[in-house]
């Protein structure tokens, strides 16, 4: 997951790169690219979302509702933005934010307080689009500190496959083997193949042990929760979730799109994703944002030779998310009945590349390496104080250490 340290630029209504003599191509190319974008985006990170929502207190039904909510809100957001601006503005749920929830765990007020924090995160994102200084403030957070906090948050999740080998080797080992082989020959499909293997293994395990699936629970439903406001959740969830979503998704997302010649309409994008986050919060959705990695699948020339027609890929991706959202409850029911460690293994494998990139960013500056290490260790410890999670204290400690040590010779 790439990162940039520059502040987001003022929003424009630029329509994207010009296309002069480009080869002709039918609609099948961008439509297929959009379907791939949706499938890759969903299967590569849904396990992280479920783990995060469950960690902060969601029941199985509430976690399924949350997954449904982020699928639907980002789908409509993509369809709206891509059609309005004729650009492949791809959205995603905040995968680093979901990983942050895993490390944070339950807060004072439980699940309703977490839902309230999700809504506040959405409000902050909207304000960022309207108030340039707030975006500049987030972008001013040193790269090594932001990346070290993210790496610390990801570490426990990435250790999960190792622990799961001991608890459920019959299911977990084949998942890891398939992931490794596909990562060697078809990297894009590695996580998808790992998920399919996990689903097959879970199905076999359920059949062998004669477990019964709750068919009623497999119907997609929305579980609304009245938000509760607690200062612990505001500081421990909302603020870190906002920072990690902006620093690891929205700002890099604009950079990725710029590399393909598109200037993101910043104010509109932040308004749509922020409002979408607020609307999805009562149903359990934690945050949606600009895509940083999967954006390239719809914005690259492989989606269509003509840059002005690549928006069709993103629009199709939005439709794909609406389709897969219908199976979210069935997926959660299957995972909940699977052997211990199955969900965590898929999530951990999906985040290995992100962890590697975060560690590189955290330790790349020799001058501020100590600050990065301190931030990483506190975030990875998962130990909070005064009811506030470790991610917030890791950020504070890293900034303090960086400031103190920056004055040495």
Residues sharing a CB contact under 8 Å with residue 208, sequence separation 6 or more, in sequence order: none
Q: What is the predicted pLDDT for the residue at 24?
A: 52
| Confidence at residue 16, expressed as pLDDT on a 0 to 100 scale | 53
- SS3 state of residue 367: coil
Question: Across all residues in the chain, what is the average pLDDT?
Answer: 83
Closest listed residue to residue 293, CA positions, set 70, 93, 159:
93
The helix (run of H) or strand (run of E) holding residue 289 is strand 288-290
Global confidence as pTM: 0.77
Mean pLDDT score, 134-140: 75
User: How many degrees, rounded to 5, is the angle at CA 86 between CA 84 and CA 91?
Assistant: 75
pLDDT digit string, tens, across residues 43-76: 778 888 998 999 999 998 899 999 999 999 999 9
Rg from Cα positions in the chain? 20
What is the distance between the alpha carbons of residues 146 and 151, in angstroms, rounded to a whole number?
9
Residues in Cβ contact with 181 at an 8 Å cutoff, skipping those fewer than 6 apart: none
- Residue ranges of E strands in 91-212: 91-93
Cα dihedral angle (17, 127, 37, 286), rounded to 10 degrees? 180
Cα 60 to Cα 57: distance, rounded to the nearest angstrom: 10
| pLDDT tens digits, 234-243 | 988 999 999 8
| pLDDT at 208 (0 to 100) | 73
**For 288, phi and psi rounded to 5 degrees?**
-120, 160
Tokens 């398939």 correspond to 178
What tokens does 131 get? 């108030």
Q: Which helix (H) or strand (E) covers residue 242, if one does?
A: helix 239-245
Write the pLDDT tens digit of every residue in 76-126.
999 999 999 999 999 999 988 898 898 888 888 899 999 999 999 999 999
- On the question of pLDDT at 21 being above 60, the answer is no
């Amino acid at each position: 997951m790439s990162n940039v340290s520059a502040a987001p630029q003022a929003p424009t209504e630029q329509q994207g790169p010009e296309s002069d003599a480009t080869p002709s191509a039918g609609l099948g190319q961008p439509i297929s690219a959009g379907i791939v974008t949706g499938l890759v985006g969903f299967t590569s990170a849904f396990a992280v979302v479920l783990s995060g929502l469950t960690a902060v207190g969601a029941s199985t039904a509430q976690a399924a509702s949350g997954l449904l909510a982020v699928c639907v809100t980002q789908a409509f957001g993509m369809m709206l933005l891509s059609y309005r601006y004729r650009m492949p503005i791809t959205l995603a749920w905040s995968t680093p934010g979901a990983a942050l929830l895993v490390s944070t765990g339950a807060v004072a007020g439980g699940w309703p307080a977490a839902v309230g924090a999700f809504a506040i995160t959405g409000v902050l994102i909207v304000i960022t689009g309207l108030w340039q200084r707030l975006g500049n403030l987030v972008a001013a957070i040193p790269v090594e500190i932001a990346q070290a906090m993210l790496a610390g948050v990801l570490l426990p999740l990435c250790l999960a496959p190792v622990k799961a080998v001991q608890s459920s080797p019959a299911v977990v080992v084949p998942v890891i083997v398939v992931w490794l082989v596909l990562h060697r020959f078809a990297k894009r499909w590695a996580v998808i193949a790992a998920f399919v293997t996990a689903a097959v293994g879970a199905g076999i395990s359920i059949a062998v042990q004669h477990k019964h699936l709750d068919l009623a629970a497999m119907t997609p439903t929305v579980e609304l929760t009245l938000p509760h406001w607690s200062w612990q959740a505001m500081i421990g969830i909302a603020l870190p979730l906002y920072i990690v979503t902006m620093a690891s998704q929205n700002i890099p997302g604009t950079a990725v799109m710029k590399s393909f010649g598109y200037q993101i309409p910043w104010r509109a994008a932040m308004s749509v994703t922020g409002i979408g986050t607020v609307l999805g919060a009562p149903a359990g959705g934690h945050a949606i944002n600009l895509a940083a990695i999967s954006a390239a699948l719809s914005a690259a020339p492989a989606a269509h030779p003509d840059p002005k027609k690549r928006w069709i890929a993103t629009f199709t991706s939005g439709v794909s998310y609406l389709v897969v959202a219908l199976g979210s409850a069935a997926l959660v029911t299957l995972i909940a009945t699977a052997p211990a460690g199955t969900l965590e293994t898929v999530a951990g494998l999906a985040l290995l590349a992100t962890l590697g990139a975060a560690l590189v960013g955290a330790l790349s500056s020799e001058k501020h390496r100590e600050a990065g290490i301190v931030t990483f260790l506190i975030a990875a410890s998962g130990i909070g104080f005064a009811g506030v999670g470790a991610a917030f204290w890791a950020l504070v400690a890293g900034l303090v250490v960086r400031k103190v040590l920056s004055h040495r010779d």
